[in-house]
Amino acid sequence: MKITVLMGSPNRNGSTALLADSFIKGADESGHTCNVIDVCHCDIHPCIGCVRCGYEGPCVQKDDTEMIRKELLSSDMVVFATPLYYYGMSAQLKTVVDRFCAYNSSLNSRHLKSALLTVAWNADDWTFDALKAHYQTLVRYINFEDQGMILGYGCGTVSMTKRSGYPEKAYQLGKNL
């Protein structure tokens, strides 16, 4: 299976990267191919709502969205990897998701598998409620097949994350696909 990981953390060596790396290791060991797109360091502009794409492209903006589109439409699975920023995904990842509208029908018809990998400093039981709801809405709307969510409560630093069970859970999610 070809898996695209949309890395939504600007911190290349942070807790989100640790979960993504663990997931990728497990997926690789099971024979899957993973490609990481570092969306925080891509040239992606917000959707301007012009609808010239007709919800099936091409977008009038010329940025890295076309590269992401080609990668996703040739994949079997998408993984959203993001730190929790004010109870949602990072702005960089949200910008990429908003641009899905330019290839909505194609993306919907792919029936991709999906997963969410996320971390937060906060450990309250409600910490991920808004992000989970957003992800589950994407799954429903875009016709993804959810493979699971790794919600890293209390992962404020890499050392905290390493001491938690979340990297192992991410590894097992990738391994068991």
Instruction: Tell me which residue has tokens 């925080």.
Output: 40
pLDDT in tens, the chain (177 residues): 999 999 999 999 999 999 999 999 999 999 999 999 999 999 999 999 999 988 887 889 999 999 999 999 999 999 999 999 999 999 999 999 999 999 999 999 999 999 999 999 999 999 999 999 999 999 999 999 999 999 999 999 999 999 999 999 999 999 999
141 phi, psi to nearest 5 deg: -70, -40
Structurally, the chain folds into a number of domains equal to: 1
Q: What is the pLDDT of residue 57?
A: 76
Single pTM value for the model: 0.97
CA 145 to chain CA centroid, Å, is 14
Burial class of residue 7 in the structure, from the number of CB atoms within 10 Å of its CB (0-12 exposed, 13-18 middle, 19+ buried): buried
Q: What is the pLDDT of residue 55?
A: 86
Task: Show the domain range for 14.
Answer: 2-175
- CATH number, domain of 26, equals 3.40.50.360
Sign of CA pseudo-dihedral 65, 104, 10, 48: positive
Could you tell me where the DSSP H helices lie in 48-128?
65-73, 91-98, 104-110
CB 35 within 8 Å of CB 74: no
- Cα–Cα nearest to 20, from 93, 95, 117: 117
